[in-house]
Amino acid sequence: MWNTENFQRLIEEPAYRSIIGRTVFMAVLVTVTDAVLAFPFAYFMARVASRRVQTLLFAAVLLPLWASYLARVYAWILILNHNGLLNWSLQSIGLPPAEIGYTNVAMWIVFSYIWLPFMIIPTYAALERVPESLLEAAADLGARRWRAVRDVVLPLALPGVVAGSIFTFSLTLGDYITPILVGGAGSSFIGNVIYSNVGIANNIPFAAALAIVPVAIMAVYLLIAQRLGAFEAL
Amino acid sequence: MKLGALAAVMSLALVACGTTNNNTGNTQAPPPTANMKPLDKVGPGEGQLNLIAWEGYVDDSWAKPFTTQTGCVINAKYAGYSDEMVSLMKSGGGGQYDMVSASGDADLRLIYSGDVRPMNEKLIPDFNTFQTYFKNPPYNTISGVHYGISLQWGPNTLLYSTTKFPNKPTSWNVIYDPANRGLITVPDNPIQIADAALYLSKTQPSLGIKDPYELTKPQFDAAVKLLTDQRPLIKKYWALASDEISLFQNGDVVVGAAWPYQTIQLKAAGAKVDDTIPTEGATGWGDTWMLATKAPHPNCAYLWTQYVSTAKVQAEQALFFGETPVNTQACAQMEALQAGSCAQYHANAPGSYFDSIHFWKTPIPTCADGSQNCIPYDKWVSAWTTIKG
Amino acid sequence: MWTRVFLRIWAALILVFLFTPIVLIFVYAFNTSNIQSWPIPGFTLDWFERTWEDAEVRRALSLSLQAGLTATALALVLGSCAAFAVHRMTWFGREVVSLLFVLPLALPGIVTGISLNAFFAFGGIPLSTWTIVVGHTTFCMVVVYNNVVARLRRTQGSLIEAAMDLGANGFRVFRDITLPLISTSIVAGAMLAFALSFDEVIVTTFTAGAQNTLPLWIFGAIRLGQRLPEVNVVVSFVILVTIIPVLIAARLTGGGATRVPAAGV
């Protein structure tokens, strides 16, 4: 027998709506954050740093990928908790403590941290390919530096940023471990619900219905990314 | 390979449109494997043993001597939650694993889905000296058929900071009290609904809750409401024991539901905490080594069950994990390893003690009176998802 | 001028952000307590000895190396072949094909994991090292494919045509012209593919049998936390061992010819 009961349940129950909403919102937020963090860094690597510094920075971005994801998330708990490194530092300079351990803010920081290299690398690659001659031409035509960046560099780097966003977006969308470790009350993700439903024999269809949600979102996202030429910049 | 993955994803869409397998039929019917004949004698080991276990249940200190004795090399896979154990047992269509150290909240699920098979208790010599309760606990024994052999148990205690609570709390109401807003942690487990039901059975007797795992719709709704109201007070629903340890050690919470393990670890690290079983009583877990229906190495599985049931290994594991052995003979061994531990862990408790502990069992539609009015576990899971939000 | 100062400070802050947790991992490998709290209660070398003697760690490390190397090797072959094929395609379907190639990388790990698990169960394939390898190859291959196809796109066809005009056959063109041109992109792809496989948790949870890769062992050790400092010891060790290869790879591929997309853990 076929029906759409499981999909209806997803749409009608507010709890599932809010979990889906939270997951997608976090994925967007992390993607935007990483793009903002990565762009000036990648620009520095590609356009300002000497060749030697460039190599070192590149290695520095790659190296964290070798430190276990789990160990890095765990280190963040040590930073963000009540008596953690962050509050200790804040108090030692006379500021009030930030109670962000085990909240959605903590998840936002940790996700942005974990996926940042995946945004820096393609952005850097795209920026590196912007021909110097284009910037010179812009300067010759009297464009100020910021205008040259806005009108010449940004459009050329956009496919790189979009390529990076595919990773930050999809990796956040599918994660269920970071919410378990650093989230607080009210931080379930789609992945957590899928995971707990797989363990229940007669709820596999519902888990599958849930799994369709991130897949559908990613398919739409990829189609848009392809339009923006991101695949050429992957 | 890639096409395989894609095809599998496409098939998800089809599965998602399937109807939910309704388990609300007659669960009085015997489990699918009820008629499988268990082994009547243990043959030589097959050389391998694949286990799904809680972390710490297959520690080298007793697993290595077992391999030396029997030649069975152990491959252990550690699971984080009962749900993960159940899905691992099903993975690859079953047949990957020989045994699982399942807790009571998973047992009936595994039994009624046919993933585990009856075991012959006569092949386990130490079975005779088990605490009476754990020979036939309702979570692993149905109509006299043993779907596994009990291993260890422990209560779900109330853990609190002694700085915040100089006087020992006597009621679970501290974890439902708005005065402790943002300083409470409880386990991230749907079975937590039973803790709320247990509390309500004492504080709201009019609901008529007798067994916190057999709840009718109004009783279930009352428990869910209590937990929904508790939700804004919660700092974190802890998923890993180490999460809760870290929460207490770093001052993020002051009170919560815990296992004795967390208390032991925290005290060892000098944290100012203690635990107690409040007057309402407590839920508890009982773990069982269960044999997979398609176990590829049944002889090694029986050899392992025999081995972990012996008083010595029971005592070692109990002290390693901070839980209580089911073998009454383990008491002396525990005392030898750590004086006073037998009484501390209630390893010598009289039968009446077990009336105050309500052991986890998978909620199923059939109530004790035979009616089909009880709320089954899948409803517990979706209610828990909604509570956590 | 101010722009440069801003960029320099920004880069420094990002480096601090990237490396603070890593420094903590190193420091807490020496923790006397198995509970992480700030500041560290005391220093000890005990965990190094215990990790060295831990047979489970060694088994997990060797399984991870084995699975990672096999998956990377398979990904190199399949990924570069696919890249050559797609590169030669001129028809309109090319866009669709390239979308299909990227999709597995962008799929949430839990979906890939459950799908593969269902697929293996359906086919009656027992879970083993090979099913881990298959799971990892699905995303490793995409990384290699992307690296190579991007390099090919920027390789001038004229070089190959010139070689052919001079009478070189297909094999010689490949050996003397194409291979040297794409070699650094292959190195970069392989490095990343291996790194991804080495740190993969979610897909592996669903495709591994009764055995632990290093990340699965780490997840297990984290749960009870009794051996938490051992995790830090192992991770520190892995970082130290990989510094040199990462630097070499960065040097080979970091300037100009970079093509390093990445996929999920």
Answer whether B249 touches C (CB < 8 Å): yes
Residue C256 sits at φ, ψ, to 5 deg, of: 75, -50
Q: What is the pLDDT of residue A160?
A: 84
**Cβ atoms within 10 Å of B4's Cβ, excluding its own:** 15
* Interface probe with A: pick from B164, B235, B253, B364, most Cβ of A within 10 Å: B235
Q: What is the pLDDT of residue C149?
A: 79
- Digit-coded pLDDT (tens) for B262-305: 998 899 889 999 999 999 999 999 999 999 999 999 999 999 99
Place of tokens 């009540």: A82
Q: Looking at the structure, do residues C93 and C127 belong to the same domain, yes or no? A: yes
Q: Do the chains contact at C260 and A125, CB–CB below 8 Å?
A: yes
pLDDT at C188 exceeding the cut of 80: no
Q: Do the chains contact at A185 and B234, CB–CB below 8 Å?
A: yes
Among A126-135, B187-196, B198-207, C89-98, where is mean pLDDT lowest?
C89-98
Q: Do the chains contact at B265 and C34, CB–CB below 8 Å?
A: yes
Does the residue C107 lie in any domain?
yes
* Fold of the domain built from segment(s) B155-284+368-388: D-Maltodextrin-Binding Protein; domain 2 (3.40.190)
Which chain C residues touch B77 with a CB distance below 8 Å?
Answer: 208-212, 216
Q: How far apart are CA A124 and CA B202, in angstroms?
A: 64
Q: What is the pLDDT of residue B2?
A: 44
Q: Do the chains contact at B92 and C38, CB–CB below 8 Å?
A: no
- The 3-state DSSP composition of chain C as helix, strand, coil percent (nearest 5) reads 75, 0, 20
Does the residue C103 lie in any domain?
yes
**Per-residue pLDDT band at A233 (split at 50, 70, 90):** low
> What DSSP character marks residue B312?
H
Among B1-10, C184-193, C221-230, where is mean pLDDT lowest?
B1-10
CA atoms within 13 A on the CB side of B261: 24
Q: How far apart are CA C173 and CA C77, in angstroms?
A: 18
Answer whether B28 touches A (CB < 8 Å): no
Of A104 and A211, the structure prediction assigns the larger pLDDT to A104
Residue C163, Cβ density class (10 Å: 0-12 exposed, 13-18 middle, ≥19 buried): middle
Q: Looking at the structure, do residues C180 and C129 belong to the same domain, yes or no? A: yes
Among A28-32, A203-207, B69-73, where is mean pLDDT lowest?
A203-207
* Interface probe with B: pick from C111, C213, C223, C232, most Cβ of B within 10 Å: C223
Quick one: tokens of B359?
Answer: 């052991």
Q: Do the chains contact at C102 and A222, CB–CB below 8 Å?
A: yes
Quick one: tokens of A116?
Answer: 């940042």
Q: What is the pLDDT of residue A71?
A: 92
Q: Looking at the structure, do residues C17 and C71 belong to the same domain, yes or no? A: no
Whole-number average pLDDT of chain C: 83
Q: What is the pLDDT of residue B27?
A: 44
Give CA torsion, residues A57, A61, A63, A68, to 10 deg: 160
Percent of chain C scored above 90 by pLDDT? 29
Answer whether B5 touches C (CB < 8 Å): yes
Q: Do the chains contact at A185 and B381, CB–CB below 8 Å?
A: no
Residue B275's SS3 state is strand
Domain boundaries, chain A: 5-233
Give CA torsion, residues B338, B344, B350, B352, to 10 deg: -160
Which chain B residues touch A211 with a CB distance below 8 Å?
Answer: 12, 16
Name the residue facing A188 among B16, B86, B388 (closest C-beta).
Answer: B388
Quick one: tokens of B295?
Answer: 């176990």
Q: Do the chains contact at B235 and A102, CB–CB below 8 Å?
A: yes
Q: Do the chains contact at B389 and A83, CB–CB below 8 Å?
A: no
Give the rounded distance of the alpha carbon of A63 from its chain centre. Answer: 18
**Cβ atoms within 10 Å of C86's Cβ, excluding its own:** 18
Whole-number average pLDDT of chain B: 88
Q: Looking at the structure, do residues C174 and C239 belong to the same domain, yes or no? A: yes
Q: What is the CA radius of gyration of chain B?
A: 21
Q: Do the chains contact at C209 and B96, CB–CB below 8 Å?
A: yes
**Average pLDDT, integer, range A164-174:** 88
pLDDT at C56 exceeding the cut of 80: yes
Q: What is the pLDDT of residue B93?
A: 63
Q: Looking at the structure, do residues C82 and C15 belong to the same domain, yes or no? A: no
Q: Looking at the structure, do residues C101 and C230 belong to the same domain, yes or no? A: yes
**Average pLDDT, integer, range B82-102:** 82
- Digit-coded pLDDT (tens) for A23-45: 999 999 999 999 999 999 999 99
Q: What is the pLDDT of residue B369?
A: 84
For residue B332, CA distances in Å to A4, B126, B150, B338, B348 come to 60, 15, 19, 10, 10
**Residues contacting C196, CB < 8 A, separation 6+:** A65, C136, C139, C140, C143, C262, C263, C264, C265
- Digit-coded pLDDT (tens) for B50-69: 999 998 899 888 999 999 99
CATH superfamily of A5-233: MetI-like (1.10.3720.10)
What is the span of the domain harbouring residue C245? 55-253
Q: How far apart are CA A195 and CA A204, in angstroms?
A: 10
Q: What is the pLDDT of residue C259?
A: 39
Answer whether B16 touches C (CB < 8 Å): no
In this prediction the ipTM stands at 0.89
User: B87 to chain C: nearest residue by CA?
Assistant: C206
**Residues contacting A174, CB < 8 A, separation 6+:** A191, A214, C107, C108, C109, C110, C111, C202, C264
Give the rounded distance of the alpha carbon of C125 from its chain centre. Answer: 26
CA atoms within 13 A on the CB side of C46: 10
User: B252 to chain A: nearest residue by CA?
Assistant: A82
Which chain A residues touch B378 with a CB distance below 8 Å?
Answer: 200, 202-203
Residue A83's SS3 state is coil
Place of tokens 């200190």: B61
Residue C139, Cβ density class (10 Å: 0-12 exposed, 13-18 middle, ≥19 buried): buried
Burial B338-376 (b: 16+ CB within 10 A, else e): eeebbeebbbbbeeeebeebbbbbbbbbbbeeeeeebbb
**Per-residue pLDDT band at C260 (split at 50, 70, 90):** very low
Q: Do the chains contact at C125 and B97, CB–CB below 8 Å?
A: no
- Tell me which H or E stretch contains A209: helix A204-227
Q: What is the pLDDT of residue B26?
A: 38
**Average pLDDT, integer, range B220-244:** 94
User: A101 to chain B: nearest residue by CA?
Assistant: B252
pLDDT at A78 exceeding the cut of 80: yes
Q: Do the chains contact at B92 and C127, CB–CB below 8 Å?
A: yes
Of C171 and B19, the structure prediction assigns the larger pLDDT to C171
Q: Assign residue C227 the CATH number of its domain.
A: 1.10.3720.10
Q: What is the pLDDT of residue A105?
A: 94
In chain B, residues under CATH classification 3.40.190.10 are 37-153+286-358, 155-284+368-388
Q: Looking at the structure, do residues C6 and C118 belong to the same domain, yes or no? A: no
Residue B141 sits at φ, ψ, to 5 deg, of: -125, 125
Amino acid at B160: Y
Q: Which residues pair with B283 in a beta bridge?
A: B358
**Cα torsion angle, A231, B2, B3, B9, sign:** negative
Q: How far apart are CA C37 and CA A81, in angstroms?
A: 9
Which chain B residues touch C220 with a CB distance below 8 Å?
Answer: 55, 78
pLDDT at B236 exceeding the cut of 90: yes
Place of tokens 């050690």: B249
pTM for this entry: 0.88
Q: What is the pLDDT of residue C98?
A: 74
Q: How far is B350 from chain C (nearest CA, A)?
A: 30
Give CA torsion, residues C133, C136, C139, C143, to 10 deg: -80
* Fold of the domain built from segment(s) B37-153+286-358: D-Maltodextrin-Binding Protein; domain 2 (3.40.190)
pLDDT at A214 exceeding the cut of 90: no
Answer whether B13 touches A (CB < 8 Å): yes
Q: What is the pLDDT of residue B14?
A: 55
Residue B52's SS3 state is strand
Q: Comparing C-alpha atoms, which of B126, B98, B41, B74 is closest to residue B308?
A: B126
pLDDT at A72 exceeding the cut of 60: yes
Structural domain total, chain C: 2
- Digit-coded pLDDT (tens) for B20-38: 443 333 345 688 898 888 9
